[in-house]
């Protein structure tokens, strides 16, 4: 097709850049790979949504980052780093968006998987995704979605894997860190914290509850729109 269509557009050069993008560049992009991933699973996790376009209050918009999902192979890789020593733990995704990481975590041997998300609209999409996914994968761990500010919602009891993909700015990271410390102090237990794109890792490192901290380099993921940045992660452990 494509060459003949391109030639036809030679008479209309204004439309050519769009045509080249649509037919020759976009199909090979991470964004297109992300859409194909969703299509394959019959879910909707792709795309980017800025905080201003979310159903959240003005203060929340200032404190939070937008929605974009962790690339699937990266999520699987990071969870696999800790899964052996976290069997039966509760997995919590802090800022769970459309639920991609929740679905991936539910395939690991966690007791349950919990998503904390302040956008009710994103949580509704996540609920549909999780439902469809569980119908196709009957053996996955149960997934629970909670709507609210993750810096204020109580963390589950028992040992935890806490996952963050850069959900918020420094002020909210400080609030979340205080909540994590209070939860740990009230009931000391094993907490493993995976912080992907750890823009404010120093706040968690300074909490005084973690005894181990490991930098993790993630392998390239073709579904990663930020592939060129080669985003790292830090794993903290009490
Ligand atoms: C970068 S996305 C990550 C989504 C998901 N964790 C993943 O890795 O695929 C960050 C998410 O955190 C959510 N978020 C930001 N601030 C929040 C807060 N204070 N409470 C709950 N969710 C928040 C955003 O709405 C967004 O869905």
**Residue of 61, 118, 143, 152 with the most ligand 1 atoms within 8 Å of its CB, for mutation:** 118
The predicted structure's pLDDT at residue 5 = 67
Residue nearest to atom 9 of ligand 1 (CA): 69
Coil, strand or helix at 72: helix
Residue recorded with tokens 């020593």? 85
Q: Is the CB of 71 under 6 A from ligand 1?
A: no
DSSP state of 135: H
- Ligand 1 centre and the CA of 107: distance in Å? 21
Strand segments (E) across 18-75: none
Among 188, 201, 200, residue whose Cα is nearest residue 235: 201
Instruction: Output the CA–CA distances (angstroms, integers) from residue 182 to 58, 155, 179, in the order listed.
Output: 27, 10, 5
Assess whether pLDDT exceeds 60 at residue 234.
Answer: yes
Q: Is the CB of 149 under 6 A from ligand 1?
A: yes
Assess whether pLDDT exceeds 80 at residue 12.
Answer: no
The predicted structure's pLDDT at residue 28 = 82
Length of the chain: 238
pLDDT, tens digit (0-9, with 9 covering 90-100), for 123-178: 999 999 999 999 999 999 999 999 999 999 999 999 999 999 999 999 999 999 99
């Amino acid at each position: 097709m494509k060459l003949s269509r391109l030639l036809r557009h030679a008479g209309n050069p204004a439309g050519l850049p769009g045509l080249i993008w649509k037919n020759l560049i976009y199909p090979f992009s991470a964004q297109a790979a992300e859409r194909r991933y969703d299509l394959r699973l019959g879910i909707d996790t792709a795309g980017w949504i800025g905080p201003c376009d979310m159903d959240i209050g003005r203060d929340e918009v200032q404190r939070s980052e937008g929605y974009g999902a962790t690339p699937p192979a990266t999520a699987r890789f990071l969870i696999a780093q800790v899964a052996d020593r976290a069997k039966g733990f509760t997995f919590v995704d802090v800022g769970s968006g459309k639920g991609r990481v929740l679905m991936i975590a539910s395939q690991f041997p966690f007791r349950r998987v919990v998503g904390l998300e302040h956008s009710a609209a994103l949580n509704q999409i996540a609920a549909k995704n999780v439902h469809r996914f569980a119908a196709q994968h009957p053996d996955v761990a149960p997934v629970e979605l909670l709507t609210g500010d993750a810096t204020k919602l109580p963390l589950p009891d028992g040992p935890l894997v806490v996952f963050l993909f850069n959900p918020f700015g420094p002020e909210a990271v400080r609030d979340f860190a205080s909540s994590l410390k209070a939860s740990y102090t009230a009931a000391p237990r094993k907490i493993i914290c995976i912080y992907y794109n750890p823009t404010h890792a120093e706040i968690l490192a300074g909490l005084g509850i973690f005894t181990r901290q490991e930098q993790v380099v993630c392998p390239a993921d073709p579904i990663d729109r930020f592939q060129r940045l080669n985003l790292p992660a830090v794993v903290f452990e009490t």
